[in-house]
Chain A
């Protein structure tokens, strides 16, 4: 999956390169976005559909000037003004990743705005696509973060840490005028004393991904206000272990480089759609997103490649709204056990806590046969613990074959430490 907080924070190079004051003009836009998210509180789905229709105006406006979308709509005899609300969406064509890749120069609105950045999105399948982001696109996530803090009734910290495990080892500090005059510290696990430097920040908001979380769980606990993990795939057991470890909420955050923030989990672990910033449909099990907020690119029914169902619920967290159920990002992996049950492979990640997520791979070759590839030597008792874990998950006598290698082949920028060659039983 290309849902990378790291990518979402691409504002930072801009901040670092130039005067941070340069982006201060976006502060009102960011707080307006937070207000939109907070005040979207419909009582039922009918009211929500009616109310979200008012938020389609920005998308319509952008569609009117996107050269690619104009020719796309004209070919179907459609007009941006035909799109008055969610009920009209099914008449409109969807946008695939391939189409995006081919048309990226013609997708953005016209005329161009200053401060655009073209970010390559590294999908796990196919060539990277160029994603043009407006200045507001680059800072929108701070509105989402603010919204999550208010919604969760947390004490706001203005210190934000981004823990990164990428081999580049890049680090920086940046001012965040659009987040309550806060500060962002990017800290790399590849540099000296990462834990100590994280621990020096007073109750920070901690952004990371499953690889960073994996690293943190192997260290002494920190005391963050809130931990956000981009939803590459956070298994419930890892999340529970993390909440116990940090004694603070761990929010699983679904964002893609193309769209930005799409959904985030609540205290009841339901993945709430970030309406009215986006509207999500599920088409034959694939999540299809329309972005309603203003942006450089009008996103109309973009096929994310991620799977899930959209449902309306009255959640126990107190919010009524659309949630994504059965979410499965492209990096999720489900092993099929001998009884035919689907088992979340990421539950096993914990056993590999002494290995970086990029340094091991577990492959289910056939129902009871597993290959474990490792960079470097296995930590003591790994084989025994893995056997026990699989036994508890329904494998009576799993066969484990360990191999040492120099590097694990990767597709895309995210680690994919689990894969299966066994097709799931047909339902």
Chain B
């Protein structure tokens, strides 16, 4: 899968304007059939379906995203386990994020590749893993929450430090002017 080329194709493709679940599921199921495997059965879709899958289906029908998935998808792939892993990995993402933000688009493509074991062109598996860790928005949100926690619990100390910083300047002014 060539991430850079796909991102460029997605940016140039007709914009996403919503897609029915039934159509999106049909498009994604087709990828598995074309790869000679078994698609996710309908009852399993009831638990695995997420709104972002419709965006992936849109990309599959407007860019080489589908084609490059089919190329590397193994026949023996267990779709349910793959979708479960994928859904878990992208839980911090939503349609709006992946449509508006280039980094989150790259992230979801890489999570998709990781869920199905698709290799990324021009990268070693270790490089791909590292890049995905860098982009992982679940980790970012956890870090943000941790930073906010620590700031909240130390709010008084922070305000005191800022007041001291202003006092340091004012003290200097006192003899300066």
Residues of A within 8 A of B (CB): 10, 13-14, 17, 64-65, 67, 70, 74, 76-82, 84, 88, 91, 105, 108, 110-112, 115-120, 130, 132, 168, 170
Contact = CB atoms under 8 A, between A and B. Distances in A.
B101 A91 contact: yes
Interface of B: 96-97, 100-104, 134-135, 137, 140-141, 143-144, 147-148, 150-151, 154, 157-159, 161-162, 164-166, 168-169, 171-172, 175-177
A1 to B, nearest CB: 20
Given A70-B144, A91-B101, A82 B135 contact: yes
A76 B177 contact: no
A70 B172 contact: no
B58 to A, nearest CB: 19
9 contacts: A13-B175, A77-B104, A81-B135, A82-B134, A111-B150, A116-B165, A117-B169, A119-B169, A170-B176
Closest 10 CB pairs of A and B: A13-B172, A112-B161, A79-B140, A116-B165, A118-B165, A77-B97, A82-B103, A118-B166, A77-B101, A117-B168
Contacts of B137: 77, 79
Contacts of B151: 67, 110
A70 B141 CA distance: 10
A56 to B, nearest CB: 12
Given A81-B135, A91-B103, A112-B162, A118 B169 contact: yes
Nearest to A186: B176
B165 to A, nearest CB: 4
B162 A132 contact: yes
A65 B176 contact: no
Contacts of A13: 168-169, 171-172, 175-176
Contact of A17 (B102, B159, B172): B172
Contacts of B102: 91
A77 B135 CA distance: 11
A3 to B, nearest CB: 18
Contacts of B175: 13, 170
A120 B168 CA distance: 12
Contacts of A82: 103, 134-135
A132 B159 CA distance: 13
A84 B131 CA distance: 11
A77 B92 CA distance: 10
Contact of A118 (B140, B148, B162): B162
A67 B158 CA distance: 11
A120 B169 contact: yes
A78 B166 CA distance: 32
